[in-house]
Every structure is written in C-alpha cells, then in structure tokens.
A and B are shown apart, each in its own frame.
Chain A
Amino acid sequence: MSNPLKCSVCDAVATVHLTQIVQGKVTKVDFCEACAAKGGAGDAAVFKLADAVNAVTPAPAITCPQCGFTDVEFRRRGRLGCPSCWQVFGVALGGLLTKVQHEIQHVGRAPAGTVPVGQLRHRLLAAQQELTAAIAAEDYETAAKLRDEVARIATQLDTL
C-alpha cells in the first residue's frame, strides 16, 4: 500500500484533496480535515488557503543527506534538522549568521578532551597584536613573554 498523502500545512494524513487549474496550470494541494476546516467553511476559503500554501512552498534547493532536512523547512522553522545540516547549509547560512551573530568564527571552549582550536587561534591573534604594541611601547619584558606565548600556541596549532 502506498503512503497516505500528508497535509500541506501540518503533516497529518490528508483527507481533503484539491486540484486547481488556472490558465492551464495544474496545482494539487492536500489538507487534513482540521486544516481544511481552519481555512474557512466554504470552498472559496479552502482554495485561498491552497493558494497561500503553494505560494510559500517552493521546491527545496538543498537537502541534508544525513537527515533529509531542506532549505524550505529551514525557512519555515528557523531551526536546522541535525548537526550535519550546519555543513550542508553553511554557505546559505553565512549571511544570516552575520546578521544574528555578527561573527562567523567560534572562539570559545571545545568539548571535554578536545583541543579548543578556535580559542587558540583567537588567542594567537590577540597575543600577536599585544606583542606589536609591547614592542612599540618598548616594554621588552612583556614582549618576551608574549613572544614565547605566540611560539607556544603556533606550535600547538601546527601539531594538530
């Protein structure tokens, strides 16, 4: 037996099926009873709901091979499907991340037992800047300490 059609709004089993032909273009939409009822009492209201669903549900352009999540779902929910989605949708999310987070590189902690690469890279950059400033200020004692720190972090990152 084939899978029952799902409601275009809520994923429940669809029992109301609409086929619209407008200027030769055929569109099909399926609703569960509840969503069809929510659309209004008459056919006109249900057709209006069908139009709305068709207008906002374009075909997915990207699908996560791991969990089947799509870019269309992301636009609908604002949440991703699984950790792998971050890699799959990475490029598409770049702009959004800059908008909500202002940054795109993690510089904090890492899980227990792993090297916090982001944190080290961040510290390396900061230490290099502090080193330049210390040399300019002729504070050679601090500069020597910072030089050692820069060398230590660089070696640590090289061995990864």
Chain B
Amino acid sequence: MSVQEILADENELTHLLGAQQAVVLSTRVRLARNLEGFPFPGWAKPAHRKEIAERCIEALTQLPRFRKSHVFKMGDLPDLDRAVLVERHLVSKELASGKSGAAVISRDQTCSVMVNEEDHLRIQVVKAGWHLRGTWNIAEQLDDAIGATLGIAFSDQLGFLTACPTNVGTGLRASAMVHLPGLCLAGHIEKVTRALSQDGLAVRGWLGEGTEAAGNIFQISNQQTLGLSEDAILRHLGGWVKTLVDQEWNARRKVAQEEGERFVDRLSRSLGLLRHARLLTSAESMNMLSHLRLACDMGCLPEERRHVVDRLMIEGQPAHVQARQGAELDSDGRDRRRATAVREALRDFPEVGSPTA
C-alpha cells in the first residue's frame, strides 16, 4: 500500500465528472468513537495504543466497505506521504504528527477511519457536492457495523464517550466545504461568518482549524454534539447551507451585474495568468482557481470543466506537488512544478465568456 496509489486512483473529489456542484465542494460527516475499557489515546501507554490499533484495524478491514482498503500506519510513512494524506483531508494534522496513529481508507477514498487520534476511532465519510443525507447514511451504517464487532464506550446520559467534552454525545461533526467568492467579492463574508457563529456553527478555512480561507473556500460545521439528535444536527446545518447557497448566488449575480465587463475581465485575467505563469505560489493559484470555479458555475466556462479546477486545487497543495514529482522540492521548485501542471491542465480551456447563470 502506498500513498502513490491514493494519488493515482481516480476518486469522486478529483475526477468524477458530474459529481461536482456549484458552491458546495463536498459534504463530510465525522463520528468520534472509543473502545470500552481502554484509556483514550492521549493518556494511553504505548502498549495500550498498540493493542487498540491492532484491534481496530483488524475489525475495520473485515468490513465489506473496507475490502481492499489502504491501511497506513503513521510511524511507517515518510513525512511527505503523511502530508499528502492531510492535504487530502483523509487524516488530520494531529494524527499525522504522532507515531502511533493509523488510518484505514476505503478504495474509493469516500470512507476513512483514523485510529488513535484524539479518540480511538474517528469515522469519516466524504462525498463530492452537497449530499448530507447520503453521506450520513453511509456513516451510520459504518458506525453500526463497527459497533457490532467492537465494544463502544457509551452512557445513557452522555451518549458516546469521547476524550474531549466538545465531542461527547453524538460524537458527530457534520460539515460542508463551501466556495463563497460572491460573498467575499461583495464584502459580506464577515457578516455571514458572524451570523453562523452566533447560531452554533463553526466557520474554518480550507484545511480546518486555524487555517486561512484560501481560494474563498470555507468549512462550515456544527459545534454542539450533546443534547441534540443526529437528525436535529443535520437539519440545522442543512438549513444554513441552503441559505448560504442562496445568498452566495444572489451575491454572485449582483456582483456580475454591477461589474459587467469588469467581472468577465477579472475571471479572464485569472485564466490567462494561470495558463501562462511559470511560477505559481499555492495561495496565488488557489485564488485564481477560485475565479475559474466561479466562471464554470456561472456559465462563463463550460460546467464540465469544473472537476479539472477542483482537481488542480487539491493537487496544487505543496505535498501533492512534491509527491507527483517524487522528490522534495524547495519553494521555487514547487512553484515551477505547480505552474507546469496547471498550464498543462488548462491548455485546451476555452475563453471566458459572459455569465449565463
């Protein structure tokens, strides 16, 4: 099993034509679970962590959904491979920075389970586009299948017992990765972020906690996990995402109308720059690619090109660029390699036209 296989395998976030949608890039559901009778990973002795990892990996790899899955032990992976998994959101930074963590990742990269992160098990399901119920259903099935083979720590009063009080109860974190260039251009993003926070939702950047919103991409997730049913948590998030999508479309149309030719010029310049640049930094390419995604959503570029933009956003991250090259690169080397990949992918892109959506 190697991380190169993860990069080479086509999956719906980077390749599947038609899976991508305007505004919502992906839907994610995460469940925190722990084994009965074992200390949580942060307090467990190395021998316990080893036993926990063995039990969990054995149980997980028996499940039909994890047939022919990738099993990665963090201690065995080079730094670069771990960084690729983090950039792909398949494991967290926290798991990647320790030696005793492991990840079991399904062939299609839709489901992944982190073992020995903050909790013994972090079950994660990701789908391209906005599919909250579908994503939840898979997570629920996985949870039941895992619970049927491993004794899960649970109390009637507090629900699923987790290492941190912010996850206890349902252990559920549901999130949407949203692309909000319209609200950013219109200058409304701070107002929207404040409204979401006041109503119990967390707003984070592209790579989660403590990261900046590169490429106008934000991650919206529930904060409360106790005292609400899973259904209530999903409905609350779902309601807000729907509102956000509506507001984003209103902002996009308003900006496009007000700016007229300047709007098309802005998107067109980004395409031109990406097509001809020889050195591209990560932040610059993310912001320009955000314009191209906006162009695809609004009919300025053909919609079927959207998945190319999404793939470039994921594969343009530093560890991905180096993994593709098969070697560690310095900053200039990465910028050069990134620019080459982007130039090649956009070579046959048509010109940016006027918005139709």
Contact = CB atoms under 8 A, between A and B. Distances in A.
Nearest to B120: A83
A101 B165 contact: yes
B349 interface: no
A108 B172 contact: yes
B39 A114 contact: no
A82 B119 CA distance: 10
Contact of B169 (A79, A101, A114): A101
Secondary structure type dominating chain A contacts: loop
A112 B165 CA distance: 23
A111 B155 CA distance: 10
B225 interface: yes
Interface residues on A, range: 20 to 34
Interface in B29-48: 34, 36-40, 42-43
A82 B162 CA distance: 8
Contacts, number: 114
Given A86-B155, A86-B168, A106-B170, A80 B163 contact: yes
Contacts of A81: 39-40, 43
Interface stretch (B68-76, B142-150, B266-274, B332-340): B142-150
Contacts of A122: 229
A83 B153 contact: yes
A113 B148 contact: yes
B65 to A, nearest CB: 15
A29 B163 CA distance: 29
A114 B143 CA distance: 13
B207 to A, nearest CB: 22
A26 interface: no
Contact of B144 (A79, A83, A97, A112): A112
Contacts of A73: 43
B157 A97 contact: no
B166 A106 contact: no
Given A82-B39, A104-B157, 12 more contacts: A80-B40, A81-B39, A81-B43, A83-B153, A104-B158, A106-B160, A106-B168, A108-B230, A110-B154, A112-B147, A113-B147, A117-B156
